[in-house]
Amino acid sequence: MTPEPISPGAVLDRALQLFRQHFAVLFPLALVIALFEAIATYALRDAGTGGAGIGLGISLVAATFLQGIVAGLVRDVETGGTGDRGAGELFAEVAPVLPRLLIVSVLAGVGAGIGMIFLIVPGLILLTIWAVVAPVVVVERLGIGAAFGRSRELVRGNGKRVLGLLLLVLLLVIGVAFVAAIFTEASGDGVGRFVQVLLGALVSPISALATAVLYFTLRRAHGEPAPPAVAPAHPSGL
């Protein structure tokens, strides 16, 4: 069966709609995460290469945690719930797959990064076919290898449109970074850092929401039914 074409603009619009509806949960959570990252980065500023590596690891864990929380929230909405659960409830649901989610995030990032180093096109291809690997882990509770295969299966037939969505999100992130740089230049490093944290707390949930909404949109494009409200545990553990 040939999947229906998806609309990158519609996916992003839906992500923005969900962000407005669940702002009271998502923004404070993202702000706490962004503040934690900023404090850790500042504390490690003189630690050299090792400190930079630790800072990168902290950022990855934080982004992965937020992605898992958001995927759980979107699943709740997509399966008929209200999406009004608190951050604690969402975390409790995601916690069992958090190590697996972190591993797939690292592998996807490293794989795409290597692809970018040798030639841009392979990196973009990997980013595209692995675009929904994180929601797959959260919603379907698949093992690591199966999650990558499942993401590729869902993206198949909509690769160009998925890449288009990724580029839209990238433009949003670049725009925010540009605004933060302007504030830093005009107001000094302290104000610039505060603005960067604030804008990051606004953008990071939207990026995570776009990925989660994309996952469910691709399922519908392939004619698949909605997943169960609570995903079963996968017997393979990690």
- pLDDT for 18 equals 95
- Torsional class of 157: left (φ above 0), alpha (ψ -120 to 50), beta (otherwise): left
Whether residue 33 lies inside any domain: the answer is: yes
pTM: 0.86
Whether residue 202 lies inside any domain: the answer is: yes
Whether residue 197 lies inside any domain: the answer is: yes
Whether residue 229 lies inside any domain: the answer is: no
> Which residues in the chain show pLDDT less than 50?
232-233, 235-237
- pLDDT for 51 equals 58
b/e per residue 20-44 (b: at least 16 CB within 10 A):
eebeebbbebbbebbeebeebbeeb
Whether residue 105 lies inside any domain: the answer is: yes
- pLDDT for 106 equals 83
- pLDDT for 235 equals 47
Query: Domain residues for 26?
Result: 8-221
- pLDDT for 131 equals 92
Whether residue 161 lies inside any domain: the answer is: yes
Whether residue 237 lies inside any domain: the answer is: no
Residue 121 φ/ψ, nearest 5 degrees:
-60, -50
Number of domains the chain contains: 1
Whether residue 70 lies inside any domain: the answer is: yes
Residue 157 φ/ψ, nearest 5 degrees:
95, -10
